[in-house]
Amino acid sequence: MGVEVRPDDLTSAEVQSLIAEHLSGMQENSPPGHVHALAIEGLRGPGVTFWSAWIDGALSGCGALKELDPRTGEIKSMRTRAGFLRRGVAQAVLDEIIRTGRARGYTRLLLETGTGEAFEAAQAFYLRNGFERTGPFGAYPATPFSVFMEKRLG
């Protein structure tokens, strides 16, 4: 069976546990003050759409899209649970985010991710999906601990 990606309201304990796992992973692999992941409250904020991903009824991952302006979205909270790595979870979530961005009329998607070994797979994944490195955007500072990427939507 494939990956089912669906909008989620973040009310289930299982999804909240996944977000806590994501935040913990970001804090373990980033210097203090350099974690830009959204907590539950931020993911429920205005302009944010959150999706959960499921395989055979098991929560396998998540991702979110935050509107920065009417033409630009930011990818947030992409996470695949360890037991579901390399099963297409991240690709299914990203495909939904890109589809939604295009449907909204966005001309580009932006993201910030970390640096170091823990983030190498994520960076390679985004590059394979047509993202290119770019500079900081919004309120993000330019630091050696962040990588910024952009994908132009046609």
- The answer to whether the pTM exceeds 0.85 is yes
Q: How would residue 35 be classed by pLDDT, with cut points 50, 70 and 90? A: confident
- Do 110 and 72 touch, CB atoms closer than 8 A? yes
> Which of 41, 3, 45, 38 has its CA nearest to residue 22?
38
**CA 54 – CA 5 distance, rounded (Å):** 6
| Number of CB atoms found within 10 A of residue 93's CB | 26
Q: How far is CA 37 from CA 43, 56, 88, in A?
A: 9, 27, 22
Domain boundaries of the chain, sorted by first residue? 4-152
Helix (H, G, I), strand (E, B) or coil at 139: coil
Q: What is the average per-residue pLDDT within 39-52? A: 96
> Residue 32: its pLDDT value, please?
67
> Residue 101: its pLDDT value, please?
98
Q: Which tens digit of pLDDT belongs to each residue from 61-99?
A: 999 999 999 999 999 999 999 999 999 999 999 999 999
**CA 131 – CA 28 distance, rounded (Å):** 25
Q: Which tens digit of pLDDT belongs to each residue from 89-143?
A: 999 999 999 999 999 999 999 999 999 899 999 999 999 999 999 999 999 999 9
**H-run or E-run covering 100:** helix 89-103
**H-run or E-run covering 63:** strand 58-69
> Residue 1: its pLDDT value, please?
65
State yes or no: pLDDT of 36 exceeds 90. no
Range 4-152 classified under CATH 3.40.630.30? yes
